[in-house]
Amino acid sequence: MFSQQHTLSGYVKDALTGEALIGVSIYVEKESKGATTNVYGFYSISLKSGEYEVKYSYVGYADILKTIQFKNHVRLNIDLKESQDLLDEVVIDAKQSDENTTGTQMGQIELSIDKIKTIPAFMGEVDILKTIQFLPGVSSGGEGNTGFYVRGGGPDQNLILLDEATVYNASHLFGFFSVFNADAIKNVKLIKGGMPSNYGGRLSSVLDITMKDGNYKSFQADGGIGLIASRLTLQGPIKEDTASFILSGRRTYIDVLAKPLISDTSAFKGSGYYFYDLTAKLNWRLSDKDRLFLSGYFGRDVFTFNNKDLDFNFNIPWGNATASLRWNHLFSDKLFVNTTAVFTDYNFAFEGGSSDFNFKLSSGVRDGNLKQDYTYYHSSLHNIKFGWNYTLHRFIPTSTEASSNDVEFDTGEKVKIWGNEAAIYLLDDWSINERLKVNFGMRLSMYQHIGPFTRYFNNENTGTTDSTIIYSSGKPIKTYFGPEPRLSARYLLPDNSSFKLGIAHNYQYIHLASISSVSLPTDLWFPSTEVVKPQIGTQYSIGYFKNFFNNKYEASVELYYKDLNNLIEYKENSFPEDNLKNNVDNQLTFGRGYSYGAEFFLKKRLGDFNGWIGYTWSKTMRQFDEIDNGVEFPAKYDRRNDLSVVLQYQISERVNIGGVFVYATGNSLSLPERRWFSAEENRIITVWSKRNAFRLDAYHRADISITIDAKKLNRYGIKKKVISSWNISVYNVYNRANPYFIFFDATGDPSQGSVDFNANQVSLFPILPSVTWNFKF
Amino acid sequence: MKKFYYILLFGFITVSCQKKIEFDLPEVEQTLVLEATVENGFAPKVILTRSQGYFDVFDTMSLINTFISDAQVKLSDGINEFDLDFGLIATNGLPLPGYTTSNPNIIGQFGKNYTLNVYHQGDTLTAKAQIPYPVKMDSVWFDPYIAFDDTLGWIKCNFKDPDTVGNCYRWFSKRINSYTYNYEAPFDNVLGEVKDKRFLPPIGSTTDDKLFNGLKFDFVLPRGVNGVVEGPDDSGVEGSFFSRGDTVVVKSSTTTYPIYLYVRAMENAAASNGSIFSSSGNLPYNVEGDGIGVFYGYGSSYDTLICE
């Protein structure tokens, strides 16, 4: 006689707002079985018939215990209340308390936005990208550089998802801010170790960002007014407990940001800069089995320059727009599916001219994406996921228009590059026994370049076109297949520790090439073609994880080795106009790279005083046959040592102070080694060293911030309608001039006397205080 | 047209915090450097030097020590080979130690292909250049700017690019009139001096014909710059402008693709110095062998105008 297995499933939400809670722990002590809610707040756990006590717990919320009689499948939706006691403990993460040791996924970090608002923020703005850069293995490109680098991988190797929509450029101007308004974000998950097979398309990391659903029960407004930017979020029910919305906006002020960029003596006064973000989401619980979500993001940066004396102006608009429609469906208590349709658009333009002459350079990516992700809660031993993903890409790597008075220059047709990208995957999260859990899977991906497309074969010596091949619309030009096996395993050791390992093989079909030494929005996204092969990466990682003092402290050591192939760089002396009547990929050169490192992490999760220390030792090298005759060179962001210290202290009920200290080895760079005098040009010509053979000074800085909550009760003892707080933060407290870039100049007249050669270091951010008033009602 | 692009590059970012820093560079071996020109109507000019360390002291004395006088230099025009002799040569500037010949058979001619071979202390260099057929400007005129009461302006040229793809150009200007007044010190003694002693290219002086193949159109020619040397009227209001009354010779040169690439990269390095767009790549030299350098070939035509 065998006992039947039944399923206990349901959704867990916040009792006050109705917001679905991610990562809630459901634990049945009697059977030592557990489960967690998925990104939509859904859980499913299989049990034999009988009576059980089930505990629902989530950081910052009061536990709920339910006694259940199990004879059939049970659907139990739970509302968790924020715990008054626990609210006073400032906690940084949303994971269940022992996730550090018990989770299989290595190199994964989850951040709950609500709880990280006390980390010192740049210019008073809480920023997701800035925060993840305080974690070991994740580094910034340095002051003012967009993008982030995970374990030695390039900035294009991070898959950034906002409610399942791919975001191509996640930074506003020069990496000051990310495009994500923290008020609208619910959860952030970063995977820097081998990603499981339900993710793909990028080699180094996944940054999976979930927006809030919106308060299902009552209307709510949050916002902040600061020196640099202001933001406002409105959310509320459209139909109580059934449908809700959330609307978020943010904008900066022109002057304050543009000022540090323009020196007083410059002839270029009269410029302005601003950016804005808008996020919107609609949610609808159609039934117990079906939910619908519609989310959108629209953001723009605009840099304008005007000079009437020279009769010259230009402006640089760029930004992302994404829209995603998702449908959750429960086939049964065990089979959950999410179907998503996404539209993504990223474009960048450079327009300028005078009364006589005008030109425009633009570049962009547009995607239409459809996918399905199934989760099959087979049993408490196997949690199976499978699905498929299809994207139609349209790239405009570069498009130029130019005219002089009435004469339109022949810039050729606007080049569009089309491609199909697709993948299917299967994975199993398998609890083999009490100690050993394995997540293994396979992803099969493919990319196909299709027409219309014109392939140019150009003469190296004259720059003219020898021949072209023209492909018609839809015609397949080149197809690539990528088998991507993934494996991660966790072995539980006694005394609350574990040993994990991971192996992942990834293909990446779309790439970013930077035409200058610092990364800018002018960097071009373009796809694989017959000339550009897919980037391939393999990562091996092992780690030891231990929690101390009843999960109050977490510690880990992770070692990794990464092998990268088909990396891309621009050939030297490439200029944007070389893309006219030519293929972008004819300007590229290809190579390989590797990186390895050790990451050390210690975190105090609970208590009035908490925070973390992360230290990474790593090495990242590249090798290209056409650069320096194939000699290995360090990547620009090869950072031998990287240290981050993040601390918070809740001094009193209303006052919280935070501090951050970061230290990183300087970026590598090439230096001028020799020079010669050109009599023809009357100039001194620089001859450079081997690529990246030298180092900038180390980067280090400290930030502090104080958050003071306003009193909750007014003078009559009644609870105030508006809850507010002040945040005062100082960036770069000891005013260190960190290098942004170096330039070299020669001053003097060679024919008159002598000339001095100088190296000059330019820094971007001195000590910057800022004040923000945050409110909520 | 290219000038706007370069202004963008240069002016995009000028930042507030800047300081001088020191680097401790190791000693390096110096390379052989070639700079040579063939041009219609002129004898060939070749200058050979050794490079110097980037942060080494630079003055007239140390510069003179870089010139090489004991090399073997041979130039071929596709038909005959000529030995070039060491002496003082008239460059596009001061006379400098270099190699040339007074043999009239090697004076530059349109349509010829030249090959240069250099031998020095075991190092060998080879370079090729061409003097393409010239493309004359249809008209050149002075375009005064109202903002400056019509006393300053740029020169405009109109021409038709031949229908063949692959024409490359470079423009220069030379003011052959003299200064009629003095400027502030140290230029308080320029009265009576000829304004430009040589042909000066503006930043953005070179282009290929990708954008305008076969078209007839106007373009603006700003006043040239003398490399790193500033003249009395280069900073301030008169910078890049011609003045009413100037007598200007406009030199329009055709050239080849490698020279267009080299000049473009060289001007970009000069214009973007100090900005984040600057790159640390070496220029695309058209010299092969044990050294670096450039071998220019120009097919030039001239127009003279008085700015009025």
B29 touches chain A (CB under 8 A): no
Alpha-carbon gap, residue A46 to A30, rounded angstroms: 13
> Cα–Cα distances in Å, from B274 out to A699, B11, B23?
21, 9, 17
- CB-CB neighbors (< 8 A) of A311 in chain B: 147
The beta strands (E) that lie in A578-654 are given as: 588-604, 609-624, 633-634, 641-650
| Nearest by Cα to B62 from A750, A679, A687, A680 | A750
Compare CB distances from B277 to A357, A464, A516 and report the shortest one's residue: A516
3-state helix/strand/coil string of A172-214: CHHHCCECCCHHHEEEEEEECCCCCCCCCCCCCEEEEEEECCC
Bridging pattern class, strands B216-221 and B152-160: antiparallel
Bridging pattern class, strands B216-221 and A553-570: unpaired
CB contact under 8 A, A679 and B19: no
- CB-CB neighbors (< 8 A) of B292 in chain A: 676, 687
CB contact under 8 A, A759 and B66: no
CA–centroid distance for A708 within its chain:
29
| Nearest by Cα to A242 from A215, A269, A263 | A215
Alpha-carbon gap, residue B92 to A682, rounded angstroms: 9
At A62 the three-state DSSP class reads coil
- CB-CB neighbors (< 8 A) of B226 in chain A: 682
If you search the block for the tokens 């973007």, which residue do you land on? B272
| Nearest by Cα to A500 from A586, A558, A426 | A558
| Phi/psi-derived region of residue A321, left when phi > 0, alpha when psi is between -120 and 50, beta in every other case | beta
Structure confidence at residue A379 (pLDDT): 84
The conformation of residue A81, written as its DSSP 8-state character, comes to P
The two three-digit tokens of residue B210, written as one number: 């990708």
- CB-CB neighbors (< 8 A) of A766 in chain B: 17
Helix axes B257-272, B2-11, angle to 10 degrees: 30
The residue of chain A with its CA nearest to that of B53 is A674
Tell me the shortest Cα–Cα distance from A359 to chain B, in angstroms: 9
pLDDT, tens only, B54-94 = 988 788 888 888 999 999 999 999 999 999 999 998 876 67
Q: Which of residues 97-136 of B touch A (CB under 8 A)?
A: none
If you search the block for the tokens 């550089």, which residue do you land on? A145
Cis before A452? omega within 30: yes
What is the value of pTM for the model shown? 0.87
Exposed/middle/buried for residue B98 (C-beta within 10 Å: 0-12, 13-18, 19+):
buried
Alpha-carbon gap, residue B276 to A611, rounded angstroms: 36
If you search the block for the tokens 């230099």, which residue do you land on? B73
The residue of chain B with its CA nearest to that of A735 is B17
Per-block mean pLDDT, blocks of 10 residues, chain A (777 long): 75 90 87 85 88 88 88 88 59 57 71 65 74 87 78 91 91 77 88 90 94 91 85 93 92 64 55 84 92 94 71 78 94 92 90 76 90 92 95 86 71 82 96 90 97 91 89 95 95 89 95 66 82 96 90 91 93 80 88 96 86 94 93 92 92 90 91 91 90 91 90 82 88 89 73 77 84 88
If you search the block for the tokens 């990391």, which residue do you land on? A205
Q: What is the CB neighbour count within 10 angstroms for residue B101?
A: 19
B88 touches chain A (CB under 8 A): no
Structure confidence at residue A254 (pLDDT): 58
> Cα–Cα distances in Å, from A393 out to A396, A420, A543, B142, B258?
10, 6, 37, 50, 36
CB contact under 8 A, B283 and A463: no
Cβ neighbours for A508, distance < 8 A, ≥ 6 positions apart: A156, A157, A201, A202, A203, A534, A535, A536, A537
Tell me the shortest Cα–Cα distance from A473 to chain B, in angstroms: 26
Tell me the shortest Cα–Cα distance from B37 to chain A, in angstroms: 9
CB contact under 8 A, B11 and A357: no
Compare CB distances from B4 to A312, A680, A687 and report the shortest one's residue: A312
| Nearest by Cα to B7 from A357, A146, A302 | A357
- CB-CB neighbors (< 8 A) of B276 in chain A: 516-518, 520, 740-741
Contact in structure between A631 and A624 (CB atoms under 8 Å): no
Compare CB distances from B211 to A410, A754, A756 and report the shortest one's residue: A410
**Residue A572 φ then ψ, to 5°:** -70, 150
Structure confidence at residue A42 (pLDDT): 92
The conformation of residue A632, written as its DSSP 8-state character, comes to -
What does chain A come to in residues?
Answer: 777
If you search the block for the tokens 């006379």, which residue do you land on? B95
- Give chain B's residues under pLDDT 70: 1-16, 92-93, 274-278
Compare CB distances from B20 to A402, A697, A760 and report the shortest one's residue: A760
Contact in structure between A483 and A442 (CB atoms under 8 Å): yes
| Nearest by Cα to A86 from A60, A117, A56 | A60
At B62 the three-state DSSP class reads helix
> Cα–Cα distances in Å, from A390 out to A115, A371, A632?
35, 6, 37
Structure confidence at residue A749 (pLDDT): 64
- Residue to substitute from A628, A685, A690, A692, interface B, most B β-carbons within 10 A: A685
Chains A–B, number of C-beta pairs less than 8 Å apart? 246
Dihedral (Cα; A673, A566, B268, B134), 10-degree rounding:
120
Alpha-carbon gap, residue A545 to A193, rounded angstroms: 14
pLDDT, tens only, B27-50 = 889 999 999 999 999 999 999 999
Cβ neighbours for A98, distance < 8 A, ≥ 6 positions apart: A496, A547, A551
Compare CB distances from A688 to B5, B7, B282 and report the shortest one's residue: B282
Alpha-carbon gap, residue A48 to A461, rounded angstroms: 77
Compare CB distances from A676 to B16, B33, B208 and report the shortest one's residue: B33
CB contact under 8 A, B1 and A305: no
**Residue A202 φ then ψ, to 5°:** -140, 155
| Nearest by Cα to A80 from A120, A133, A46, A37 | A37
Structure confidence at residue A776 (pLDDT): 87
What single letter denotes the amino acid at residue A681? E
B265 touches chain A (CB under 8 A): yes
* ipTM of the predicted assembly exceeds 0.95: no
> Cα–Cα distances in Å, from A200 out to A421, A438, B222?
11, 19, 52
- CB-CB neighbors (< 8 A) of B208 in chain A: 463
Compare CB distances from B283 to A670, A685, A759 and report the shortest one's residue: A685
What does chain B come to in residues?
Answer: 308
The residue of chain B with its CA nearest to that of A307 is B11
| Nearest by Cα to B259 from B205, B214, B226, B297 | B297
The conformation of residue A20, written as its DSSP 8-state character, comes to B
The two three-digit tokens of residue B260, written as one number: 């267009």
Half-sphere CA count of A427, side-chain side, radius 13 A = 30
